[in-house]
């Protein structure tokens, strides 16, 4: 029996419906959620991401602005801009678009994001709050994986979870989120580029979270039957025909589509649950960004003493 | 062939010799390292720990003060005391002794420790810096484990490390430290109370870090031959004679001694390296506290623009 589908589109839509109502409560309480995406210089990736944010903010009825600083902005000027967003009472969420130009240190820049408006959970203080389990904004992709696991309805307690990624935005925060419960956490295995035999670990896993950026990295034979597979990979590959020849569009350009890190059709035969790509982790990650924005807005309302609801 | 001994006393002595010279440099540069241990109410554990700190600070030629606030100190008063230590230019390190009385929230108190003087690396910002790999004060026990592993001279790259602990002062920060290298980290497995079969994981491990607080938890048969074993456990148990009868002292009190989480003599036969208890992780943990103190002092000197050396 093929795996059940973890439909990120549907999960995200449900989350966004609730968030829309929470956002409306914030607005009624006197603070409309308002996200500013700050980029330094124009980059194609940041632009596409900002367009997606603009769309979801509009759906949620919350404010959104994209601000693009000149690519010759100095580090000092960027920090000043972030500081100014921190002091602007209208702004409740700040996102610093990556990548930054080479002359700007990304670590120092992330530390300059106003901590209470840090919708991507990248400020060191928010990372630390994640370790100690305080409810605060956390990296969106890691939160999305947790949300997808929750949607399976399966308990995580004592399950063997293999995470194939040890970055600061996926693997490490996800490990901390998975280990947050004192008595009911899963056992967490973090694999990465230096791991000797990743597939041996995958073979024993009840849950596999793969984020390596390699199409077809995981095959059906690697997966323990009945495992839950969360595919974080987003890879653009050529569309090929039955003979493996890349298809072209009318202009003669190679057609492409998005795939994850799993050989989807194969893995689906072994797994109990699987996220598709696209339509799995991606939409839920955007919903988590909105959840962080609402959380930051509520925090500001609490700080101002005008919020009566819970977080 | 029995395991080689990871002699924490010797490793700590070497570290402290270097730190003594670094501390003297700080003093010469105009800022003598000065640690304040702040406790709320008298507790036996905190008192013993403070006595150990006083001793090592004296050996290093750095300042030490133990301050004990009344046990009816309010949270607000504690935060004010921490804030005042943050502003005191003479104080370069602050340690908030645990446990705190029940009426004080330990998380909020740790967040009130002055972040640049946080010698135990418990402030959320320092926890976050740990994730992103910035050199800053980090939890001493986790740092001590890293230092002991370094003392083996073995590369960690791609090794299988099983950590049996997922607390905020051992397992989680240790996982982050182990995963800090982008290309040369070990594979990290975090086991804990909800893990289904911890010993199956231990059996496959190249390196085992055990911190469960149970004497005799790990036996020789559990360990893969040649594994490195770091025993973080500190358990006080009765001394027994050959027949298993508890020995008593002249006053008729049961004699006790300290043991780790390993059945030491057995595990020693299988392991390649092992830490004794006492004399393993403990002394190196104290040395790491001193390293954090020196790091904080250097940070203050850098902040004041009077430090010329590196960190």
Tokens of B213: 């607080």
Distance CA B244, CA A294 (A): 62
Predicted confidence (pLDDT) at residue B44 exceeds the cutoff of 90: no
Distance CA A101, CA A105 (A): 9
DSSP state of B120: T
% of chain A at pLDDT higher than 90: 84
Predicted confidence (pLDDT) at residue B307 exceeds the cutoff of 80: no
Distance CA A252, CA A236 (A): 18
Answer whether A27-118+281-311 and A140-279 agree in fold: yes
Average per-residue pLDDT for chain B: 94
Nearest to B11, CA basis, from B119, B139, B147, B120:
B147
Residue-range domain boundaries for chain A: 27-118+281-311, 140-279
* Per-residue model confidence as pLDDT tens digits over B173-224: 999 999 999 999 999 999 999 999 999 999 999 999 999 999 999 999 999 9
Q: Which of B124, B158, B189 sits opposite A128 (nearest CB)?
A: B124
- In this predicted structure, what is the pLDDT of residue A158? 98
Predicted confidence (pLDDT) at residue B38 exceeds the cutoff of 90: yes
- In this predicted structure, what is the pLDDT of residue A135? 75
Predicted confidence (pLDDT) at residue A101 exceeds the cutoff of 80: yes
- In this predicted structure, what is the pLDDT of residue A197? 97
- B83 pLDDT band, cuts 50/70/90, is very high
B185 — contact with chain A (CB < 8 Å)?
A: yes
Compute the average pLDDT of residues B248-257. 91
- B306 pLDDT band, cuts 50/70/90, is low
Average per-residue pLDDT for chain A: 94
- The CATH number of the domain covering residues in B153-271: 3.40.50.720
Domain A140-279: which topology? Answer: Rossmann fold (3.40.50)
Predicted confidence (pLDDT) at residue A309 exceeds the cutoff of 60: no
Distance CA B160, CA B149 (A): 13
Instruction: Indicate the CATH number of B18-120+286-303 among 3.40.50.10860, 3.60.130.10, 3.40.605.10, 3.40.50.620.
Output: 3.40.50.10860
B108 — contact with chain A (CB < 8 Å)?
A: no
Nearest CA in chain B to A181: B166
- In this predicted structure, what is the pLDDT of residue A310? 45
Distance CA A291, CA A293 (A): 5
Q: Is B180 exposed, middle or buried, given 0-12, 13-18 or 19+ CB atoms closer than 10 A?
A: middle
Predicted confidence (pLDDT) at residue B311 exceeds the cutoff of 50: no
* Per-residue model confidence as pLDDT tens digits over A244-288: 888 998 999 999 999 999 999 999 999 999 999 999 999 999 999
- In this predicted structure, what is the pLDDT of residue B25? 97
* Per-residue model confidence as pLDDT tens digits over A196-252: 999 999 999 999 999 999 999 999 999 999 999 999 999 999 998 888 888 998 999
- A307 pLDDT band, cuts 50/70/90, is low
- The CATH number of the domain covering residues in A27-118+281-311: 3.40.50.10860
B158·A195 Cβ contact <8 A: yes
- B127 pLDDT band, cuts 50/70/90, is confident
| Measured CA angle at A286 (ends B133, A128), to 5 deg | 30
B126 — contact with chain A (CB < 8 Å)?
A: yes
CA distances from A285 to A120, A183, A268, B17 (A): 10, 27, 22, 50
Nearest to A285, CA basis, from A88, A110, A144:
A144
Partnered with residue A236 across adjacent β-strands are: A258
ipTM of the complex: 0.93
- B132 pLDDT band, cuts 50/70/90, is confident
Q: Chain B: nearest CA to A144, how far in angstroms?
A: 19
Predicted confidence (pLDDT) at residue A308 exceeds the cutoff of 70: no
Q: Which of B168, B176, B186 sits opposite A132 (nearest CB)?
A: B168
- In this predicted structure, what is the pLDDT of residue A133? 76
B124 — contact with chain A (CB < 8 Å)?
A: yes
Tokens 């600061």 correspond to what residue?
A168
B212 — contact with chain A (CB < 8 Å)?
A: no
pLDDT higher at A45 or B253: B253
* Per-residue model confidence as pLDDT tens digits over A8-52: 999 999 999 999 999 999 999 999 999 999 999 987 777 888 999
SS (H, E, C) chain A: CCCEECCHHHHHHHHHHHHHHHHHHHHHCCCCCEEEEEEECCCHHHHHHHHHHHHHHHHHCCEEEEEEECCCCCHHHHHHHHHHHHHCCCCCEEEECCCCCCCCCHHHHHHHCCHHHECCCCCHHHHHHHHHCCCCCCCHHHHHHHHHHHHCCCCCCCCEEEEECCCCCCHHHHHHHHCCCCCCCCEEEEECCCCCCHHHHHHCCCEEEECCCCCCCECHHHCCCCCEEEECCCEEEECECCCCCECECCCCCECEEEECCECHHHHHHHCCEECCCCCCHHHHHHHHHHHHHHHHHHHHHHHCCCCCCCC
Q: In this structure, what is the dihedral angle of CA atoms B83, B88, B93, B99, given to the nearest 10 degrees?
A: -40
Distance CA B271, CA B208 (A): 10
CA distances from A222 to A257, A275, B283 (A): 24, 16, 44
């Amino acid at each position: 029996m093929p795996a059940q589908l973890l439909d990120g589109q549907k999960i995200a839509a449900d989350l966004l419906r609730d968030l829309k109502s929470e956002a409306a409560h914030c607005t009624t309480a006197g603070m409309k959620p308002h996200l500013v995406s700050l980029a330094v210089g124009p980059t194609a990736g940041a632009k596409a991401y900002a367009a997606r944010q603009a769309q979801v903010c509009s759906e949620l009825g919350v404010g959104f602005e994209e601000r693009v600083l000149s690519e010759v902005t100095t580090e000092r000027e960027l920090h000043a801009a972030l500081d100014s967003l921190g002091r602007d009472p209208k702004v409740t969420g700040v996102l610093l678009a990556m990548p930054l130009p080479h002359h700007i240190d990304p670590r120092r820049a992330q530390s300059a994001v106003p901590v209470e408006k840090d919708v991507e959970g990248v400020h060191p203080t928010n990372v630390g709050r994640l370790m100690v389990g305080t409810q605060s904004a956390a990296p969106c992709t890691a939160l999305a994986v947790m949300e997808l696991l929750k949607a399976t309805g399966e308990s995580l307690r004592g399950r063997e979870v293999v995470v194939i990624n040890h970055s600061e935005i996926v693997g490490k925060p996800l490990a901390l989120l998975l280990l947050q419960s004192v008595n009911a956490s899963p056992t967490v295995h973090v694999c990465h580029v230096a791991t000797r035999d990743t597939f041996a670990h995958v073979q024993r896993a009840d849950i596999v979270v793969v984020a390596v950026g390699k199409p077809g990295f995981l095959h059906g034979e690697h997966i323990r039957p009945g495992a839950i597979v969360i595919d974080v990979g987003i890879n653009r590959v050529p569309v090929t025909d039955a003979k493996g020849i890349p298809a072209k569009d009318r202009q003669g350009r190679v057609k492409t589509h998005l795939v994850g890190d799993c050989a989807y059709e194969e893995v689906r035969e072994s797994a109990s649950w699987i996220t598709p790509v696209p339509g799995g982790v991606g939409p839920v990650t955007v919903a988590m960004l909105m959840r962080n924005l609402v959380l930051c807005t509520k925090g500001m309302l609490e700080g101002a003493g005008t919020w009566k609801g819970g977080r």
